[in-house]
Structures are given as structure tokens and as C-alpha cells.
């Protein structure tokens, strides 16, 4: 295992930081444009699939009093949070629209999705992981009365349908990116692993290990996270799930959600989360207006990065958002 970790660290250190558009060579611009076509096709395909499945397409929110606390998720590595004052109120840039999704799905839109920009100022040392950027877009979705199994089937169908269509319609682009023959259509259902089992086998670096060892997309469940993911207090198990792609790691994070007032309040207090930032969700839960939902968020840059075979997911962005780097555009 030590040898594998050392090799992984050496590989990560050699990843080149993506350059801004004005610094690209002619051949690099051609590659960038090709990846852009894959992104366009992926966005069109996935949004069409969700609309055809009865999901309402909502518009994103950029500033809000309430956004994802990103705590106590051990995977979060945020250097700072951006807050500004408008109209006498403190608002934050959207870290994710999870709170908005829970309320919107409970009150008005039983099945919804959003192409949601997320701003998470990652620590600069994550620049060379190839997997982190400080601005990214999620295809965020939520469905009332859905189960974990429902979400897994939905996502597996969407991913397999997307790959089938890509290999048919985007053969030239995938060939140019050397991915036409290397990217395979995965078998369904995807394998499911429990996080505790992976920790016992691989230790604290289980995420990197499962990403490197798998050759197909896999689910990982039971991951301790924020207060809104469903936790069974009797067993200590979490009813949540992440989708990991070979070599690229987690591309989707989701869960069945908490909706009961006492549990939400207890978890917020346990995790030392500021209750004032989540007053509305607590109020709705107390009034019985919050409903059971389940959903997730697909990181578009990571998904398209995996499809395109990039070394750094910022290659999928027209204007790279690499941790520790600020370009003019």
C-alpha cells in the first residue's frame, strides 16, 4: 500500500496546471474546443433525460443567507467563505443549493433539477490533485418521496444512456481525445461499497484507493456528513451515497434527506452549525411542511473530465478555476 501511495503522490505532482485560453497553442485550443463539444453534448443529453423523466428545470441562486455548511464533511477543504452585505443582510455565495432543493421539492416542485454554479475556495495545495477547482457547476436534482434505490437507478440509467449516445454521436471527438476505445459502457447495477468496509481495507485514503482500483463506476454509501443527510440514530448508518469514477474519484454526492424537526435540530447542535443560517428549514420542519426527499449533485467538470480523459478537470472549463490561481478572465 505504501508503494501505491508513493506512486500516486508522484503522479499527482506531475499534473500540469491548465493554462488560460490566451496562453494555449493552436493544438491545445483544438483540444479545448473538442472537450467543449463533449461538455455541450453531455449537458444537452442529461438535461433532456431529466426533463423527459418529469423533472422541472429551475434557475440557480448565486447569493443566499442559507447555503451548504460543508461541515462536518471530512472531504471539505475550504480556505474561506465569501460573504457580502446587501440590503442590510449578510449573504453568502452559493456553496451548493442543497437547502434550496429541500425546500423547493417539499413545497412546490416534487421533482426538480438545477445547473447550479458552486463557489468553494479550496486550499491552494489542491491545485495539482487534478480533481479540484474553486468554481464548478453541479447538475443538482431532488425528488420527493424518492429512495436511495430510486436515485441509483435514475443515475445509472442516465450515465449509461449518455455514454451510449456519446459513443454513437461523438465518435470523432472521443477518438481525437483517445477515449473512443478506452471508455467502456459499465454494467448495471453498479457495485455498492460501504464506507466502513473500505476504511477497514484501505485506511483513511480509501477514496483514492477505490478510485484507482476500480475499472467501472461504483457507489460508496454510509458516509458521515452534514445535518441534512439521513442518519439512523439506532444503527449509526447514513443513508447516503457517492458515485466514484475510475481514476477520477467522486463525481456525484447525494442522500436521502432528513425532514423531521427534532432530528435536524439535534444534528445542527451536535455539529456546532450556526442555527441562525438555517432558521427557515427548521421552521418548515417544525410545521411539518418539510417532506422526505432524496437527490444528489453531479459535478459536470468531473464527469466530462472523466469522459474526456483530462489530467486536470479545469481543462473542461473555458476559464480555468485552479486553486491558488487567479487569471484575468
Summarised one tens digit per residue, pLDDT across range 214-237 is: 999 999 999 999 999 999 999 999
Is residue 7 predicted with pLDDT exceeding 90? Answer: no
Q: Please state the rounded mean pLDDT for residues 301-315.
A: 98
User: Is pLDDT above 60 for 12?
Assistant: no
Picking from 32, 113, 99, 31, the residue whose alpha carbon sits closest to that of residue 64 is 99
Give me 151's grid cell.
Answer: 436515485
pLDDT class for 13, splitting at 50, 70, 90? low
C-alpha cell at 320: 480555468
In angstroms, the CA 111 to CA 255 distance is: 15
Residues 6+ apart with CB under 8 A from 74: 224
Residue (of 121, 130, 116, 139) closest to 313 by Cα position: 130
- pTM for this prediction: 0.94
The pLDDT value recorded for residue 73 is 78
CA distance 200 to 192: 16
pLDDT tens-digit series, residues 49-97: 999 999 999 999 999 999 999 988 777 778 888 999 999 999 999 999 9
Confidence of residue 9 (pLDDT cuts 50, 70, 90): very low
- Angle (CA) 303-305-307 rounded to 5° is 70
The CB density around residue 148, as the number of other CB atoms within 10 Å, is 19
pLDDT at 41 over 80: yes
- Would you state the pLDDT for residue 6? 35
Locate cell 438555517: which residue?
278
Q: CA 23, 25, 26, 31: dihedral to nearest 10 degrees?
A: -90
Between helix 206-213 and helix 2-13 the angle, nearest 10°, is: 80
Residue 313 has pLDDT above 70, yes or no: yes
Q: d(Cα 162, Cα 317) in Å, to the nearest integer? A: 20
Give the span between the Cα atoms of 241 and 228, in whole angstroms.
13
Q: Residue 104 in 3-state DSSP?
A: helix
pLDDT averaged over the chain?
Answer: 94
Please report, for residues 22, 123, 136, 153, 195, the alpha-carbon distance to residue 117 in angstroms, rounded to integers and kept in the order given: 24, 19, 6, 25, 28
Closest CA to 320 of 96, 127, 78, 123: 127
Q: Is 272 exposed, middle or buried (0-12, 13-18, 19+ CB in 10 A)?
A: exposed
Mind listing the domains of the chain with CATH numbers?
A: 30-316 (3.30.930.10)
Sign of CA dihedral 214, 18, 301, 137: positive
For residue 35, what pLDDT band results from cuts at 50, 70 and 90?
very high
d(CA 212, CA 249): 8
pLDDT at 262 over 60: yes
User: Over pLDDT 90: what percentage of the chain?
Assistant: 92
DSSP codes joined into one string, 17-68:
PPPPGGG--HHHHHHHHHHHHHHHHHHHHHHHHHHHTT-EEEPP-SEES---
Amino acid at each position: 500500500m505504501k508503494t501505491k501511495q508513493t506512486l500516486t503522490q508522484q503522479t499527482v505532482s506531475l499534473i500540469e496546471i491548465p493554462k488560460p485560453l490566451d496562453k494555449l497553442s493552436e493544438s491545445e485550443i483544438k483540444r479545448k474546443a473538442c472537450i467543449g463539444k463533449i461538455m455541450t453534448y453531455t449537458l444537452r443529453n442529461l438535461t433532456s433525460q431529466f426533463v423527459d423523466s418529469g423533472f422541472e428545470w429551475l434557475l440557480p441562486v448565486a447569493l443566499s443567507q442559507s447555503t451548504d455548511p460543508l461541515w462536518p464533511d471530512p472531504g471539505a477543504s475550504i480556505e474561506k467563505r465569501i460573504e457580502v452585505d446587501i440590503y442590510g443582510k449578510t449573504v453568502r455565495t452559493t456553496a451548493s443549493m442543497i437547502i434550496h432543493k429541500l425546500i423547493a421539492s417539499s413545497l412546490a416542485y416534487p421533482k426538480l433539477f438545477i445547473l447550479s454554479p458552486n463557489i468553494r475556495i479550496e486550499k491552494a495545495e489542491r491545485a495539482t490533485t487534478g480533481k479540484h477547482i474553486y468554481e464548478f457547476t453541479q447538475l443538482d436534482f431532488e425528488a420527493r418521496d424518492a429512495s436511495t434505490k430510486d436515485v441509483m437507478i435514475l443515475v445509472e440509467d442516465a450515465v449509461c444512456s449518455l455514454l451510449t449516445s456519446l459513443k454513437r454521436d461523438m465518435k470523432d471527438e472521443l477518438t481525437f481525445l483517445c477515449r473512443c476505445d478506452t471508455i467502456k459502457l459499465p454494467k448495471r447495477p453498479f457495485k455498492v461499497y460501504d464506507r466502513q468496509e473500505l476504511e477497514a481495507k484501505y485506511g483513511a485514503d480509501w477514496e483514492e484507493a477505490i478510485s484507482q482500483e476500480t475499472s467501472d463506476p461504483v457507489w460508496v454509501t454510509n458516509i458521515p456528513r452534514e445535518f441534512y443527510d439521513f442518519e439512523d440514530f439506532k444503527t449509526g448508518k447514513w443513508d447516503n451515497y457517492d458515485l466514484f469514477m475510475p481514476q477520477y474519484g467522486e463525481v456525484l454526492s447525494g442522500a436521502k434527506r432528513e425532514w423531521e424537526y427534532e432530528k435536524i435540530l439535534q444534528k445542527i447542535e451536535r455539529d456546532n452549525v450556526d442555527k441562525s443560517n438555517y432558521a427557515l428549514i427548521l421552521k418548515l420542519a417544525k410545521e411539518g411542511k418539510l417532506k422526505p426527499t432524496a437527490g444528489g449533485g453531479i459535478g459536470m467538470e468531473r464527469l466530462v473530465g472523466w469522459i474526456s480523459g483530462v489530467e486536470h478537470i479545469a481543462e473542461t472549463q473555458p476559464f480555468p478555476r485552479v486553486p491558488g490561481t487567479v487569471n484575468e478572465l
